[in-house]
Amino acid sequence: MERLYLKNYRNIKEEDLAFNPTLNLFIGKNAQGKTNLLESIYLMGTGSSHRTKSDQDLIDWDADYFFLKASIIKRTREMTFSYGYNKSKKEIKIDNNPLQKIGDLMGYINVVLFSPEDLQMVKGSPAFRRRFLNLEISQVNPYYYHNLQKYNQVVRQRNLLLKEIRANYAERKKKRDLLSVWDQQLVDLGSRLIKKRLEVIERLDILARLTHRKITDGRENLKMEYKSVLGAIEEQTSREEIEIIFAERLKEDVDNEINRGSTLYGPHLDDIELFINEVNVRQFGSQGQQRTTALALKISELEFMKSEIGEYPILLLDDVFSELDSLRKSHLLEVIRDKIQTFITSTDADAVNEIQSKYNLYSVTEGQVELSKGSD
Ligand SMILES: Nc1ncnc2c1ncn2[C@@H]1O[C@H](COP(=O)(O)OP(=O)(O)OP(=O)(O)O)[C@@H](O)[C@H]1O
Ligand SMILES: [Mg+2]
């Protein structure tokens, strides 16, 4: 990203920033606006904030709209992206042309965010890992994103119908026929999502293992496995086979689903399992192992995107750099050095000192961002 203009974005009143093509450091005390700034870059890339679902939260409390405009150079051509929201209306434009749907924003400015909460990808509930995977694939594959939106809608509709059937015994038979219409869509879309996830996990698994091995001097072997609530699904399972298994499960367990009023099978409930030397990291990994795993996953994400779209995404490191020990830090630096545009926030200027010769250093104070050292 070459430039970013922000107006009334959270506590940032107005800034027009020109970035370093490699490294940008934002230093400031707590609650000054560092994460807000990274969040705005993330928003321009993914169309949603990582911290809130509501655009309303992003408007400066003293204002009634916010506006962001970013410019990037994509294969030697300059492109501009703008994102504006005023209490009733959102407007997103690429090169001044309004977009019909937010999904169309995906795939231009690719971003990878690494923040302390990412430890949850390893330690937390399956929802964190599904989110990681969905976001990762959606950024490089708009078709996946599209299917995912449709799938989620089908799950919502189907859940409503299951509850209706539960409530209305007399019409049970008639409504059950309706259910099979949703089942077909669920199975069709769901099997596509699962198949794509299997393909991507296979790639991420290799990339993450390589990184993890390097950071641990070859002592640890990381493994990622897709774990479906459908049961027996493996890398080589074809989409047709997934469809059959999926439909079968729905048939077997329909009474249970009606009782619970909820769809109990499908990719919206699947998970990724992580092992180090065959031992489950979530259950048995040490803190250090869990951190290294999170870092390896993030680096695999960068490499995966590079191989998919031909260039590295923007890397946003929110508050994590100073937390890493020297071995992990130096490994990360080796990966990003001079080839990945990186934005780092920290409260401590010393923690990020001397990391490379060319960088922009900004100080962030009460929503004001000031360039205090620049080189290019
Ligand atoms: N919509 C908003 N309007 C105005 N201020 C906001 C809005 N949303 C959040 N803030 C404020 O912005 C301030 C800065 O938040 P931010 O998360 O960017 O801090 P930070 O510099 O990353 O701090 P830390 O080092 O603690 O992570 C917070 O005090 C928060 O209350
Ligand atoms: Mg912060």
pLDDT given for residue 329 in this prediction: 84
Highest mean pLDDT among 186-200, 296-310, 323-337: 186-200
Which residue minimizes the CA distance to atom 9 of ligand 1? 10
- Please list all protein residues whose beta carbon sits less than 5 angstroms from ligand 2, which is an ion: 34-35
Does 24 sit in the ligand 1 pocket, CB within 6 Å? no
Same domain? 74 vs 150: no
pLDDT given for residue 375 in this prediction: 66
Beta carbons within 8 Å of 93's beta carbon, 6+ residues apart: 80, 81, 82, 99
The answer on pLDDT for 90 being more than 90 is yes
In the reported structure, the alpha carbon of residue 258 is separated from the centroid of ligand 2 by a whole-number distance in angstroms of 44
| Tokens 């027996």 sit on residue | 232
Mean pLDDT in the chain? 92
Instruction: Look at the alpha carbons of 40, 132, 338, 332 in this order and tell me if their dihedral is positive or negative.
Output: positive
For 148, the token pair is 């995912």
pLDDT given for residue 376 in this prediction: 55
Q: What is residue 244's DSSP assignment?
A: H
Same domain? 235 vs 359: no
Is residue 305 in some structural domain? yes
pLDDT given for residue 74 in this prediction: 82
pLDDT given for residue 184 in this prediction: 96
Does 47 sit in the ligand 1 pocket, CB within 6 Å? no
In the reported structure, the alpha carbon of residue 34 is separated from the centroid of ligand 2 by a whole-number distance in angstroms of 5
Phi, psi for 328 (deg, rounded to 5): -65, -40
Which residue minimizes the CA distance to atom 19 of ligand 1? 31
For 70, the token pair is 């970013």
Neighbours of 8 (CB within 10 A): 22
For 100, the token pair is 């019909």
> How far is it, in rounded angstroms, from Cα 311 to Cα 296?
19
The answer on pLDDT for 354 being more than 70 is no
Q: Kindly tell me the burial class for residue 273, based on how many C-beta atoms sit within 10 Å of its own C-beta (0-12, 13-18, 19 or more).
A: middle
Same domain? 152 vs 299: yes
Tens digits of residue pLDDT in 151-171: 999 999 999 999 999 998 787
Does 35 sit in the ligand 1 pocket, CB within 6 Å? yes
Give the domain CATH number at 170.
Answer: 1.20.1050.90
Same domain? 251 vs 325: no
Helices 287-309 & 126-140 angle (0-180, nearest 10): 20
Same domain? 83 vs 200: no
Between residues 309 and 29, the one the model is more confident about: 29
Q: How confident is the model at residue 29 (pLDDT cuts 50, 70, 90)?
A: very high
Is residue 14 in some structural domain? yes
Q: How confident is the model at residue 360 (pLDDT cuts 50, 70, 90)?
A: very high
Tens digits of residue pLDDT in 35-52: 999 999 999 998 999 999
Nearest atom of ligand 1 to the alpha carbon of 39 = 18
Domain final residue pick, 263, 290, 310:
310
Domain final residue pick, 310, 341, 356:
310
Same domain? 193 vs 60: no
> How far is it, in rounded angstroms, from Cα 72 to Cα 146?
25
Please state the domain count of the chain: 2
Does 363 sit in the ligand 1 pocket, CB within 6 Å? no
Same domain? 100 vs 1: yes
pLDDT given for residue 298 in this prediction: 92
Same domain? 176 vs 300: yes
Angle, vertex CA 210, rays to CA 207 and CA 213, nearest 5: 145
Between residues 330 and 353, the one the model is more confident about: 330
Tens digits of residue pLDDT in 242-299: 999 999 999 999 999 999 999 999 999 999 999 999 999 999 999 989 999 999 999 9
Is residue 115 in some structural domain? no
pLDDT given for residue 78 in this prediction: 94
Nearest atom of ligand 1 to the alpha carbon of 58 = 1
Concatenated DSSP letters for 263-283? Answer: --SSGGG-EEEEEETTEEHHH
pLDDT given for residue 75 in this prediction: 79
Phi, psi for 148 (deg, rounded to 5): -65, -45
Give the helix ranges, DSSP H, for the chain: 34-46, 120-123, 126-140, 142-167, 172-215, 239-252, 254-260, 281-284, 287-309, 326-336
Ligand 1 pocket: which of 7, 25, 34 to mutate (most atoms within 8 A of CB): 34
Is residue 262 in some structural domain? yes
Domain range enclosing 76 = 1-110+313-376
| Helix or strand run (H / E) with residue 318 | strand 314-318
Range scoring the smallest mean pLDDT among 14-28, 123-137, 172-186: 172-186
pLDDT given for residue 349 in this prediction: 81
Same domain? 128 vs 242: yes
Same domain? 104 vs 163: no
For 257, the token pair is 């689903």
Same domain? 134 vs 253: yes
pLDDT given for residue 235 in this prediction: 87
Is residue 187 in some structural domain? yes
Is residue 60 in some structural domain? yes
Same domain? 293 vs 330: no
Paired strand residues for 111 = 314
Does 45 sit in the ligand 1 pocket, CB within 6 Å? no
Which residue minimizes the CA distance to atom 27 of ligand 1? 30
Length of the chain: 376
**Is there a contact between 374 and 360 (Cβ–Cβ < 8 Å)?**
yes
User: What does the pLDDT average to over 120-134?
Assistant: 95
In the reported structure, the alpha carbon of residue 321 is separated from the centroid of ligand 2 by a whole-number distance in angstroms of 12
Give the domain CATH number at 67.
Answer: 3.40.50.300
Does 50 sit in the ligand 1 pocket, CB within 6 Å? no
Is residue 116 in some structural domain? no
Nearest atom of ligand 1 to the alpha carbon of 32 = 21
Q: What is residue 151's DSSP assignment?
A: H
Tens digits of residue pLDDT in 49-61: 999 999 999 999 9
Helix/strand/coil for 192: helix
Pairing between β-strand 97-98 and β-strand 89-94 as defined by DSSP bridges: antiparallel
Taking CA atoms, 148 is separated from 179, 240, 252, in Å, by: 20, 18, 25
Domain final residue pick, 290, 310, 330:
310
Is residue 26 in some structural domain? yes
